[in-house]
Amino acid sequence: MSLRFNRRLFLRGMLQGTAICAGIPILDLFLDRNGVVYADGAKLPVRFGTYFWGLGLTDTPTGGTRWVPSKTGYGYEIMPELEALKAVKDKVSVFSGFRGIGDGRPNLVHWSGHASILSGVAPGQPGRFDAPSFDTRIADAIGNSTRFKVIDIDASVSRLPVSYSTRTGVTFAMPETTPLALYTRLFGPGFQDPNSDNWKPDPTIMLRQSVLSAIKDQRQALMAGAGRSDQIKLDQYFTSVREMETQLATQLEKPEKCESCVVPPAPKETPRSASIDSVRANTKAMAKLLALGLTCNQTRVFNFVHTAGISETYVPGESKIYHQITHDEPTDATLGYQPETSRLAGLVMQAFGDFLVELDAVREGQGTLLDNCLIMAFSDTGYAKIHSIENIPMFLAGKAGGRHKAGQHIHAAGESVTRVSLTAQQLVGAPVGEFGSGSMRTARPIAEIMA
Amino acid sequence: MRRYVIATTVAAILSLFLSLSQAQQPSSHAKWTRTYVVEWNEPAMYYGAKTGVTDPGTDCPKGTNPSPDWVKVLVDAGYTPEEAKWLRDPANPSRSPVHGQNQMAFRGKDRANVYTNPTSTPDPGLVAVSGTTAEGLNLDGDENTGFTSPTGEKGIDNNFYKALGCWKTYRGPHRLSSGALNFNDAMRNGAWTTVIVVAGEGPDPMNDDHVKVGFYVSNDKMVKDALGNIARDYTFRIAPDAKYEGVLSARTVNGRIISTAPSDIMLRDPSYTRDLELLRARLDLEMKPDGTLTGYVGGYRPWEAVYRGWVDARGTVIEVLTWVQLPAVYYALRRNADYSPSGPGGEKTHISFALRIDALPAFVMMPDGSKEVASVESYKAMAPRESAKPMFPFRVVDGIVPDPKYPAGPHAVILPASSSSANRSQ
C-alpha cells in the first residue's frame, strides 16, 4: 500500500490573515510495527548529550581500581564505583585506559583532561580550549529542527556557572543552574504544548522571523559589494541568521503530538548548597525536566555538568570538601586505594545513575528515551590525587537509536581520549571523519560498539 | 685547474663556517659519553614502614604527622569556636574551593599573617624523623655525623629528611609519596625536562678516574609509551639555561659514578620551589646494565627558599592538603639547618639534602641539534636572558590569593551579619 500522507507533510493554510504550516502528529501509520522507526525507514530522532563530573574515579598506581572492570566486551562486571549504573548497565559502555596526550604541553590541572576530550587538543592555557568543543559540531548537525539547538545545564551549585561547551574556545555557554531556571527555559514563555488543542502560532515569533527575513533579502546585495574578508564575516553572520530562522520556523509549525510529552509543574526554588546530597537532588530534578524537554522535542542536544573539575561538593557536616579529600587522603596500604575518596566517587556516580534512570523511565515507541539518546559521560582526570590525565573514565550511555552496541567494556591502554569523542560524533550522525590534533588526532572510531 | 680553485674556495668557506660555529659551542671530545633523560626525581626520603604511606615505621614510630584539627588551631590562635567552625565550613562563601580559606593565614600574634611572619606564632611542632637510616650522600666527609644508609654506609648527611621526613607530602615508599607523585606527574607531562650527560677520558666507562657529569635543561618534552611510562631512546636537545645547569667531576668504579670534588650547582627542583641550589654538591649514581641510571645528587640547599616555595603555592591550600602547619615547617627547617656558606661559625642558611634520580638512556644533542653531545661542558654562555614564568595562572600575595569580595586580614569580619547579631544577643 502506498501512503498518501507521509510524516513530512505539513498542512498549509491561512490563519488570521497569515500563511502558516502545521506539522502532523506522529500517527501510527507513520511508524513500523515495532514503533521504533518511521515506516519510510527513518528512525526516531537521536539525541546527544554530554555529562560531566569532576575528580574522576578511583584507579591508583598501587593497583587499586574501583571502576575498571576486569572483563572486556559484553557482560562486564559492575565495579563498586559503578554500582549506580547497575539498572541501566546494558545500555552503558565503559571505556578505560584512554588518556589525554599533551604533546609536551603541561597538564593544566582540572582542565587539560576534559578540554582534550571535548576539543581534541590539550589546551595551552587554563580557562580556554584551543578548538571548539565537539558538542557544537553535533548541535550543528542534529540540533536545527528543535526550539533550542542546545540546552546547557549546570547542576553543581558552584559559586560560578560551569559550562565546558564552547564554539570559540574563549567564551563558554551560559548554563541553566537551577531546576526552576531550566523549567522556565524549557516550559516557560515560548513553550508550545504539542498536545494542546488550541495551538496558535506565536505572533512575537512571527514578528522576529519577519525581521530576519527582511535582513535575508538584502544579503545578496551586501555580499556582492563586500571584499573577501567581509564576505567571510557576512557569511558567518548569515549562517547564524539562517540557523535562527530555522529555529523560529520550527516554532511556527504546530508541533507533533507526543504522548510522552507531559508538561511538568514548575519546580520550587531549591536551596543553594553544593553539598553532595543537594547536588544529587538537583541533578535528579534537572534530569527529569531535561527528559521531558527532550521528549517534548524542545532540543536534541544538551550538555550537563554535575560538578566542576574542581568540584565544590562536600558531605554535610564535614569540613573537608571532596576535592580536598582526593588530594589529602592517603592510600590505604591494604586496600590499595583511598577509601573515603572512593566512597565519595560512588556517591557522585549515584547522580549519574539517577540521571540515566530518569531518561530510561520515559517511554518512547517500544523503547525508552534513553534508547534514543547517546550520552557521553566523562571526567577531568583519572587519578584525582595527582590530577592524572591517564585512564580518564568515560562512558557512552544510551543506544543512539540502535547505532550503539551498548553494554560493553572497551579497554585501550594509552589510546587517545579523542577516539571515544570521535565515536560519539559518528554514532549520532555528525559528518566527522577525524577528530583532534597532534598525537590526539584520530580517524579511528571504536568500531566494536558501532552497529 | 679551475676545478681545483673552486674546490679550494669552497673548502675554505666551509672551514671558516665550521670554525665560526665551533667558536660558539663547546668543542672538546671525551673518549666516551653516556646520555640520559631524568624520568623520575624526588627528595631522598627513606621510608621505614613496610606498607602504606602513613604507617608507623623505623623512620617515624608514630607514623606520618596527622592532619591538624584546624578548628582547634584557629581557636588556639584567638578565634571563637563559632568563628573557627564557620571559617572551616564548606558552605562559608569566603572559603574558596580552589584557593582555600584566606583567613587561615591570619593566626599569628595580633592576627599577623603566619605565612610571611612564621615566628609570630609559637612553633606548632612537626615530629621529625627519629630513625637512624637515611638515603643520600656523605656531604661533609665525616662518617661520624649523620645517618647510616640502607646499605650500611656511614655519615649520610640529609637533614632535610630529618626535618620533613614524617610530613605526609614527603613520606612514602619510592615513587609513592604524594609530593613525588604530583611533581613527577607534572614533569612527565611536559612541565620540564632534565637531561644528564656522563663523559669520560679513559678506555673503560665502568672504571674511569676522569669523568664529568652534566645536568642540563631540555625544551624537548618526554614521550610516553602506550602504558604511560616514559619511553627510552628519544632525542633531546640541550637548552642553554642561565640558571639550571650543573657540572660535576667524578670517577667511575664498576659503573658507579662518585664525585671527586664538590661543586656548586643549580638544578630544576621537583617542588614548588623550582630552584634547587646545591652548594658543595656531590653525586652517587649507578650506570645499570639495562642502560638506566639511578642514584643521588645532593648538597646543601637554602632552607628558607623551601619554606617560601610552599607559602607561594598558597599556604591556605598546602596546609589543609598536606596536613601541616606551615610555621612548623619553617621552625623544623631552621632547627635542622646544618651548613653556612660563610664557614662553621656563620648562620646556618642551608640544609643538607639529596635528590633521588631515575634516568633512562636517551640521545642528547647539542643545542642547535646538529650532533650528539660529545663532552660535558657549560652552556650558560649561550643561554638567553632568564625569564621566569609564573607558577600559577593566578596571583599569590603573601601566601593567599586575595579575594576582593571576601577580604581577609587581621580586622576581617568573620561571622555573617545575622549570625553575629544572634551571637551578640545571647
Q: What is the pLDDT of residues A317-327, one digit of tens each?
A: 888 999 999 99
What distance in Å separates residue B95's CA from the closest CA in chain A? 10
Give the pLDDT confidence of B190-249 residue by residue, as tens digits: 889 999 999 999 999 999 999 999 999 999 999 988 778 999 999 999 999 999 999 999
Give the pLDDT confidence of A384-393 residue by residue, as tens digits: 998 899 999 9
Per CB-CB distance under 8 Å, the chain B contacts of A125 are: 393
Mutation pick from A60, A160, A386 vs chain B, by most beta carbons of B within 10 Å, is A386
Per CB-CB distance under 8 Å, the chain B contacts of A387 are: 182, 185
Give the pLDDT confidence of A107-116 residue by residue, as tens digits: 899 999 999 9
pLDDT higher than 60, residue B295:
yes
Give the pLDDT confidence of B109-165 residue by residue, as tens digits: 999 999 999 999 999 999 999 999 999 999 999 999 999 999 999 999 999 999 999
Closest C-alpha to A165, from A118, A112, A123: A118
Give the pLDDT confidence of B17-34 residue by residue, as tens digits: 444 444 444 446 789 999
Q: Chain A residue with minimal CA distance to B187?
A: A106
What distance in Å separates residue A342's CA from the closest CA in chain B? 17
Q: Which residue pairs from A262-265 have beta carbons closer than 8 angstroms and sit at least 24 positions apart in sequence?
A: A262/A292, A263/A187, A263/A191, A263/A193, A263/A292, A263/A296, A264/A183, A264/A187, A264/A288, A264/A289, A264/A292
Indicate the Cα dihedral angle B310, B312, B314, B315, nearest 10°: 50
Contacts of A32 (CB under 8 A, 6+ apart): A38, A39
Of B90, B97, B323, the CB nearest to A328: B323
Q: Using a pLDDT cut of 70, give the percent of chain A over it.
A: 81
Q: How many CB pairs under 8 A join A and B?
A: 99
Q: Is B3 exposed, middle or buried (0-12, 13-18, 19+ CB in 10 A)?
A: exposed
Q: How far apart, in whole angstroms, are the C-alpha atoms of residue A252 and residue B206?
A: 84
Give the pLDDT confidence of B42-82 residue by residue, as tens digits: 999 999 999 888 899 999 999 999 999 999 999 999 999 99
- The residue ranking higher by pLDDT, B419 or B424, is B419
Kindly indicate whether the ipTM for this predicted assembly is greater than 0.85, answering yes or no.
Answer: no
Quickly state the pLDDT bin for A21 (edges 50, 70, 90): very low
Supply the pTM of this predicted model.
0.81
Mean pLDDT computed over A292-315? 94
Q: How far is CA B23 from CA A203, A303, B216, B369, B375, in A?
A: 81, 60, 20, 16, 15
What distance in Å separates residue A332's CA from the closest CA in chain B? 6
Give the pLDDT confidence of A117-167 residue by residue, as tens digits: 999 999 998 899 999 999 999 999 999 888 999 999 999 999 899 999 999
Q: Chain B residue with minimal CA distance to A61?
A: B176
pLDDT higher than 90, residue A271:
no
Mean pLDDT computed over B254-260? 98
Of B182, B227, B320, the CB nearest to A414: B227
What distance in Å separates residue A302's CA from the closest CA in chain B? 26
Contact A413 B227 (CB under 8 A): yes
| C-alpha cell at position B314 | 598558597
